[in-house]
Structure 1
Amino acid sequence: MSILTIVLNILLPPLAVFLKHGLGVTFLISILLTLLGWIPGMIHAFIVNGTK
């Protein structure tokens, strides 16, 4: 995982997910979790972007 991905996971979780996986269910889940709370969105982004 690059430094840019880590920074985006922290600051803008949906953008980090979008750049790695594009538009899809994962991106929509990331937006929903970020709207519910920044920390759940960030955790989801790290989990999704940390796995291959």
Structure 2
Amino acid sequence: MGFCMRFLEILCAIVLPPLGVFFRYGCCKLEFWLSVVLTILGYVPGIIYAIYVIVTDPERHYDDDYRAV
């Protein structure tokens, strides 16, 4: 499941870089807004940053969202 989700995020990051970052982080994080700015300034820097952010982010465990902190 993790490989398939990461593949789809990378595919979205190639088509529309902020979308791939949005799926990974949501819209209220610095990574998303930096991806939006880089995409506006240049499409290729937006793609490079989005793929970098998705690939270097450690694999999320969806079960951790339901545990008490």
Same fold flag (TM > 0.5): yes
Give the deviation of 1:9 after TM superposition: 1.2
Select the structure with the greater relative contact order (CA < 8 A; seq sep ≥ 6). Answer: 1
Q: Residue type matched to 1:6 in 2?
A: I
Query: Is residue 49 of structure 2 the alignment partner of residue 47 of structure 1?
Result: no
TM-score of the superposition, structure 1-length normalised? 0.88
Q: Report what 1:3 is aligned to.
A: 7
- CA–CA separation in structure 1 for the residues paired with 2:29 and 2:12: 18
Identity fraction in percent: 42
More helix by share: 1
Q: RMSD between aligned alpha carbons?
A: 1.1
Query: Is residue 30 of structure 2 the alignment partner of residue 25 of structure 1?
Result: yes
Alignment length (residue pairs): 52
Unmatched 5+ stretches in structure 2 = 59-69
Query: Is residue 12 of structure 2 the alignment partner of residue 16 of structure 1?
Result: no
- CA–CA separation in structure 2 for the residues paired with 1:49 and 1:32: 17
TM-score of the superposition, structure 2-length normalised? 0.69
- Runs (4 or more) in structure 1 with deviation over 4 Å come to none
